[in-house]
Amino acid sequence: MKKIWAALKGSVKFIQGLGTAVLGLLVVVVLIAMFTSGGPSAPVVADGTVLVVRPSGVLVERPERESPIEVFFRREFDQSPPPASSIHDLMIALERARTDDRIVAVQLDTSRLAGAGLANLHEIAAKLGELRGAGKPIYAVSGSYSQGDFLLAAEASTVYLNDFGSALMTGYGIYPTYYTGLLEKLGVTVNVFRVGTYKAAVEPYTLTAMSEAAKDANADFLGDLWSAYLRSVGNARGIAPEELQSVLDNFDTAFSRSGGDFADFALAAGWVDEKSTGRSWKDDIADAHGTDGSYREMGYLDYLAATEPKLNTAPSEIAVIVAEGTIAPGKRQPGIAGAGDIIADIRKARRNPATKAIILRVDSPGGSQYASELIRQELLEAQADDIPVIASMGPVAASGGYWISATADEIWAAPTTITGSIGIFALIPTFEGSAEKVGVAVDGVGTTRLSGGLSPLKGLSDPIASVIQSNINRGYEDFLSLVAGGRNMDIAEVDKIAQGRVWSGTRAKELGLVDHLGSFQQAVKAAANAAAVNDTFVLNFYEDQPSAFDAFIDGFLNAASDVIPQSHGVKASVASRIAAEVERMTQLLTQFRDPNHAYILCLACEVK
């Protein structure tokens, strides 16, 4: 036995030594490369460049920061695309390309795009339309197009579709999963406290189907969103929205008659311009913008780095604070707008002498009332310091997302922003029925009528239930009051359009919940005007900054990229995307942690 143990220890030491030697060799190679090459060269934009727009993963406000080592190994050995891309990086690159004579065309590839909010898609589509209007041809080259992809591809001068690809639009819908039957079988009691006729966030736990009130409200705002989609695609492709709607209403019949070929159907319907096999589209782009069968191309992130302006002085700053995901106490996590980190960013911006205005960029269905109020209070502190606060609503700014925006100096929303949902609820499951099924009982004594009233195996007592409902009632009154004060409206007037009802940005503007309809760039201009800084400013996106060590490692590994041979990895699979979606959905269970059990959350704001 001792010999075996000694052999095992010797093997471990050998492996450790081998790893150290390999790492040491890598360090030597990289250092040689750094000293001989002077470090990685900065990208240069040449005349006649075709800008390649190929966003990867989910398009978000602020991608989660990856460690330099994760980035290095994914890039050099796995070669999978990044899990998320920044909407702001993409929009800035497109805006610069619009007036850059060195950029002659845009190659749009949505094959790696895993999803994006509707309002963000409309902003990109509008910017692509501006580029095409400025004389820059756009080539959409994805093999297949989802509904979201096609909103962008429709703006192209030429849309290519693989012979075996597809382009399909299915419309928008909201289809929650209802758990009431399962909970009854398990003996779980769901204690619900809410205010708002249309606050349907609790319905999956109390009903077996969508209520008529929820159906009416959802159909109303979905109709607004779908009309905007039809107008955008129809105008870009030269198809009347009514004609496009008619084709989709009778799609199954017409598709069967066409022989069941997606590419042929899309070509005949005018959705795409060319069927392509392999990379034939590359030859077309080379013929128009290159020589000898090739053309200069540059990815939009490299282009962004190459065109970053050089600043000789420290100008005024407009701080951008992002609230993305479900609002909850604590730190940011994927899908969670951590109030602690957001408040810290607002405080840093407020105390920064260069900050002249703050843009609160919101893409959130809400969450904890308590956490939302803490964020709003910190914004009020900035306003008290004479720093204008401009709210810019992205795809979703509902419930808590609207709460934190309501008292901003100005609110900007996209026509397709999902907003409103001014209502509040508490949802507390108890398991006295489940305990009874397995022969478990709870009993005892306490010193007040409230003692034991929150026992998960005993059920809520009447006094506790009364306290919670009173708190929810007060929370709704507070919501109405802050909206009325922030938007200069009467409380009774707000109550009529509140009740938990969801609105499109267009309707919210008509109702007075939003001041202006426009893009993030227009909100930036509004912030500059409010601060009287005009063009003499830079945007400062407050986000997690890499440590000095991470920055060193990043530079070190970037240099290593030039000397390490690249392998050819496999793209992220559909299965991995599904797994990521399941993980995102299960995170919702961990987000109900408001200390008062009071939530301003819109679960109906996820449109598919």
Q: How far is the C-alpha of 76 from the C-alpha of 308, rounded, in Å?
A: 25
From residue 164, alpha-carbon distances to 160, 263, 577 in Å are 12, 7, 22
List, in sequence order, every residue forming a beta bridge with 159; answer none if it has no partner. Answer: 140
- Give the active site residue among 56, 372, 399, 504: 399
What is the identity of the amino acid at 222? Answer: L
User: Would you call 269 helix, strand, or coil by DSSP?
Assistant: helix
Given a contact cutoff of 8 angstroms between Cβ atoms, the answer to whether 362 and 331 are in contact is no
Tokens of 447: 């010193």
Given a contact cutoff of 8 angstroms between Cβ atoms, the answer to whether 460 and 383 are in contact is no
Q: Is 80 considered catalytic here?
A: no
Pairing label, strands 84-86, 326-328: unpaired
What does the CA dihedral 32, 36, 39, 42 come to, rounded to 10 degrees? -150
Question: Percent helix, strand, coil in the chain (nearest 5)?
Answer: 45, 20, 35
Tokens of 189: 């009691």
Q: CA-based Rg of the chain, rounded to a whole angstrom?
A: 27
- Give the active site residue among 136, 199, 282, 509: 199
Q: Is 157 considered catalytic here?
A: no
User: Would you call 323 helix, strand, or coil by DSSP?
Assistant: strand
CA 104 remoteness from chain centre: 30
Q: How far is the C-alpha of 67 from the C-alpha of 84, rounded, in Å?
A: 14
Q: How far is the C-alpha of 484 from the C-alpha of 496, rounded, in Å?
A: 12
Tokens of 420: 């409103």
Residue (of 329, 321, 399) closest to 361 by Cα position:
321
Q: How far is the C-alpha of 351 from the C-alpha of 150, rounded, in Å?
A: 44
Please name the helix (run of DSSP H) or strand (run of DSSP E) that holds residue 356, with its range, or none: strand 355-364
Given a contact cutoff of 8 angstroms between Cβ atoms, the answer to whether 88 and 120 are in contact is no
Tokens of 440: 């478990």
Tokens of 81: 């695309």
Q: How far is the C-alpha of 168 from the C-alpha of 115, rounded, in Å?
A: 15
CB contact set of 87 (below 8 Å; sequence gap of 6+): 59, 60, 61, 116, 120, 123, 124, 394, 520
| Residues with catalytic roles | 199, 399
